[in-house]
Structure 1
Amino acid sequence: MNKEKKQLRKKYLQERLTLSPLQWQEKSKQICQHLSESLLVSNSKIILSYLSFKQEPDLSLLHHDKRKIWGLPRCQGNELIWHQFTSVNDLEIGKYGILEPSTHSPLIYPHQVDLILVPAVGCDRFGYRLGYGGGYYDRLFAQPLWQNIVRMGIVFDFAYVDKLIKESWDKPLDYICTESGIKTPIKEQKE
């Protein structure tokens, strides 16, 4: 693993954990507000999301919108399997101590998905994402069936930076949402 990436990951995770519960809730609420007002979200029927872990932006306010079908990830081996979010009663603690949908929840397949809200430790202005280092989303986005689905990274402003280190397998996100709004990444110039 790249040492510089590891240090950046630690820095942003520590900064996230320094937010007071009130700051975290307020910033998360602002992100949810931007998302709920977005045409991208309003025009999507099936949206893949996540449940907040270690003070990630909390999107659970959105999951109550019954006009949408919300999908949540479940770790299976080294892959993410997506299940429909039906109720908090159908969640269980998964592989990393993260709440996941039970295996009994209906599956969601790539051809059904309109939008993926992607958790991130950090994102840059070119759309590249710093994840947790497990490679789950990298493997997902490398699969042909998932490549053309719109992906929006979700981070707090302090973790939205000019430029991150990128690896050959990194795929840029289509949008990034922070508490200050939804941003469209800068397209990189080919050399």
Structure 2
Amino acid sequence: MAEILLSGKRHLALPTLLRGKMVDKKRLRKELLQARKSLSEQEWDNKSQAICEALNQYLDMSSVVSEGGTILSYFYFRSEPSLDPLFNLSVYSWGVPRCVENELSWHFWKPGDALTKGGFGIREPLPSAPICSPEAVDLILVPAVACDSRGYRLGYGGGFYDRLFAQPQWRRISKIGIVFDLALVSELPTDAWDVPLDGVCTDQRLIINSDQLSKYGRQGE
């Protein structure tokens, strides 16, 4: 993975639980969620804006998504980074998920379209919104509790994205994890079924793998 710094810093945030020992995912998830929750509203907003600006720059300079391409994103909850401003980039088509039993159903959505509240209280498109098939998708922006410098992701434990990426038609799509820099660690505990992401974007850095780097205009500089 190649790292493109956004703030001049070159350290990785290491939560207390990761210093000197491997830990289980449940304990790590609890600590990182608490750290994220402790951000002030202003800090949360500033960091979210920094992530959106970095992603906007990446989209401008990368050939991963061409004009008119489709990007899957999410509506934030539990103090996740907000990517809402990106939906105003009308040169792309956007898809967002609905939770349908134990799976994610993806639907095209644009600002002004109707929304409803899902089972977790997350904003969701209406069931009648047009379905977004994997063949139409160029990039997935993936929410996470944490990511590591190898591209592995720690989720909430529900397995929604694990099940999604277990399917070959979804696994082939470029995937960038979205976390605040406080949740970027050097190495997460992993399971055999974990699928590494192609990149990670935080409020301080963008990390992308070599295949993605070849499509990035700055070549990592």
Match of 2:182 in 1: 158
Q: Are 2:150 and 1:126 equivalent residues in the alignment?
A: yes
* Structure 1 residue corresponding to 2:200, chosen from 164, 176, 185: 176
Match of 1:50 in 2: 74
Match of 2:39 in 1: 19
Deviation per CA, 1:31-58, whole angstroms, max 9, x where unpaired? 0000000134663610000011011000
* Alignment check: 8 A CA contact 1:92 1:100 kept: yes
CA distance 1:13–1:88, change in 2 (3 Å): farther
Q: How many residues align?
A: 185
Structure 2: gaps of 5 or more residues: 1-22, 211-221
| Separation in 1, partners of 2:124, 2:74 | 9
* Structure 2 residue corresponding to 1:35, chosen from 55, 72, 89: 55
Match of 1:61 in 2: 85
| Equivalent AA in structure 2 for residue 158 of structure 1 | L
How far did 1:149 drift?
A: 0.2
Instruction: Give TM-score, length-normalised by structure 2.
Output: 0.80
Higher RCO (CA 8 Å, separation ≥ 6 residues): 2
Q: Are 2:99 and 1:99 equivalent residues in the alignment?
A: no
Structure 1: gaps of 5 or more residues: 187-191
| Equivalent AA in structure 2 for residue 43 of structure 1 | S
| Separation in 1, partners of 2:55, 2:72 | 13
Instruction: Give TM-score, length-normalised by structure 1.
Output: 0.92
| Separation in 2, partners of 1:161, 1:185 | 16
| Separation in 1, partners of 2:192, 2:65 | 33
Match of 1:113 in 2: 137
* Structure 1 residue corresponding to 2:99, chosen from 43, 50, 75: 75
The DSSP-based 3-state class of the residue aligned with 1:33 is helix
Q: Which has the larger radius of gyration?
A: 2
- Structure 1 runs of 4+ off > 2 angstroms? 39-44, 86-89
CA distance 1:87–1:105, change in 2 (3 Å): farther
* Alignment check: 8 A CA contact 2:175 2:198 kept: yes
Of 95-104 and 39-48, more deviation after overlay is shown by 39-48
How far did 1:8 drift?
A: 0.6
Identity, in percent, stands at 48
